[in-house]
A and B are shown apart, each in its own frame.
Chain A
Amino acid sequence: MNQTPDGTGPVPLLQVEAVSCRFGGLLALDQVSLALEEGEIFGLIGPNGAGKTTLFNVISGLTPPSGGRCLWRGAPTTGLGASGLNRLGIARTFQNLRLFESLSVRENVLVGLHHAARAPLLGSLLGSGAFRRQQGQLQERVMELLTLLELEALAEQRAGDLPYGDRRRLEIARALATAPRLLLLDEPAAGMNPAEKDDLRRLIGTIRQHFTLTVLIIEHHVPLMMQLCDRLAVLNFGRRIALGSPAEVRTDPRVIEAYLGGRP
């Protein structure tokens, strides 16, 4: 099925090809390349300012790269924009949480079902039987997702009033509502205590199983990443300095140098 032209193997779900990103004098990403295989949990680590979030922004279409390109199942994604890439199957969360704060928890997830909610205008306006049945199905889907993320009791609360951990999970629920193939999680464990981090690790495992997802995750908490990820890439000053299994990355001298500082 998905074979490369020379027949050497399956096409990766997402390829990042020599992506560079320059903001004025700052080279935030310098020729970064990665390939994500379908179904894996892939971690992205690196010191602050290494370009991890910038890479997320490029992959999700928020920032056009200054050089290089991304390929989705082998096809370039150039120029698609954030909404186009979401429709291809890429969903994301944000490091500093971007919920629709004035909407309820339920409505936030319902907005995520935007594309499942397509309906003829006249039928929708007049509240036809077909429209009401569809609304019922959407609400069921919302409640399934909220239950999975343990938010069902908060469905009618305003998203802006939620405590921090619930907001993180709501963002994941909203991203999952868009039926993604690839989920980008930007520091999902930030600000969580060890017990919550443990819950999160289990949750990510569960949703990967449940939705047959590929997950790309940025996280600073290295032990969590070592447990969770199938493969890891390490960024430092915009460059990819290591790539491999957690065991390989842990012992890589360049990674140790980036985290602990170089010898003079």
Chain B
Amino acid sequence: MDAALLEQMLLGALLALSVYLPLRCGQLSLATPGFYAVGGYVAALLSTGVPAFAGSGATSPLPALLAEMVLGGALAGLIALAIGGPVLRLRGIYLAIATIALVEILRVLNLNLPFTGGAMGIFGIPQPFAHAEGYVLFTLALLALACWLCQRLEALRLGRAMAAIRDDELAAACVGIDTPRTKLIAFVASAVLAGVTGALAAHFFNSWNARAGSFDASITTLAFVVFGGSRLWPGPVLGGLVLTALPELLRPVGDLRLILFGAVILLGPLFFPQGLVTAERLHWLAARLGRGRHRGRQAPQAP
């Protein structure tokens, strides 16, 4: 597998985690690509417009990339914070529609603002890494950090409050959970992760335009989570990796690949309504691996 495809898969996994965070507290937000686009524009504008960010050598400086990721994540987070209050009053499919509208508003703004380069977008974005392998290692570290945070959330008061809201928002309020605030935290965290990912992606793709955050992208990122599962973080990660790779791996079959891709998205939820990754399957896998490792010994009982 070539490094460029691997990098796209890792970016897909990060975006899938961004969709997963609000879903952990039952909020279906499709705004991820909008925040991803915002983060990408922050990186593109800074690294092409500000000499300190572009650097002078063959590759742009790494601290500049980190600063862009922080700023891109911060701007996306601020937008989410500003609109989250009213938007998160909506529930279910209405929230999904409102977040699609947000993605569209951001897309039209990105097309028409005087400094975002119109339909062509911004290109010639400097490269912090000379090879795709550099991106892969860096993104892998970022993904590991994101996964670790999602895993730690399980043990945290915030993570339990999110799960409670997902199961029953009204009952959650009745045990003293500030439900609007908890939902807002999840929404902002999702936006920050998407913004950070966008800032990194803008460098990797070398150019950035309004197509990064489109309705199509909303549906694709949603498919990551539907396919992989939305209950546990390994689900979206797997969905993001597989569904990003699939169209490329199916390239040899020509136009038939689009039909096959569609069939996977259609059949996945039919046969795996919870997504591929569920607690039961993870326990089964852990038991199998355990048995393989200590042959002859009793496999540890899944909790």
Which residues of A does B touch, CB under 8 Å?
60-62, 81-83, 86-87, 91-92, 94, 98-103, 107, 110-112, 114-115, 117-119, 124-125, 127, 135, 156, 174-175, 177-178
Contacts and interface: CB of A to CB of B under 8 A. Distances in A.
B149 A83 contact: no
A107 B175 CA distance: 13
Interface of B: 149, 152, 155-157, 160-161, 163-164, 166-168, 170-179, 231, 303
B173 A81 contact: yes
Contacts of B156: 124-125
Nearest to A101: B167
B40 to A, nearest CB: 28
B164 A103 contact: yes
Contacts of A103: 160, 163-164, 167
Given A62-B170, A83-B176, A174-B175, A118 B157 contact: yes
20 contacts: A61-B173, A62-B170, A86-B174, A86-B175, A86-B176, A92-B174, A98-B168, A98-B171, A99-B167, A99-B171, A100-B172, A102-B163, A103-B167, A107-B163, A111-B164, A111-B172, A111-B177, A125-B149, A156-B303, A175-B175
B61 to A, nearest CB: 28
A114 B176 contact: yes
Contacts of B174: 60, 62, 82-83, 86, 91-92, 98
By CB atoms of chain A within 10 A, which of B155, B156, B157 has the most?
B157
Which A-B residue pairs are the 8 nearest by beta carbons? Answer: A86-B176, A82-B173, A98-B171, A100-B167, A117-B157, A111-B164, A83-B173, A112-B175
Given A102-B163, A135-B155, A178 B171 contact: no
B179 to A, nearest CB: 7
Contacts of B160: 103, 107, 110-111, 114, 117
Contacts of B167: 99-103
Given A83-B179, A111-B177, A119 B171 contact: no
Contacts of A127: 152, 155
Contacts of B177: 83, 111, 114
Contacts of A101: 167-168
B98 to A, nearest CB: 22
A100 B152 contact: no
B273 to A, nearest CB: 14
A50 B292 CA distance: 63
B177 to A, nearest CB: 5
A184 to B, nearest CB: 9
A92 B173 CA distance: 11
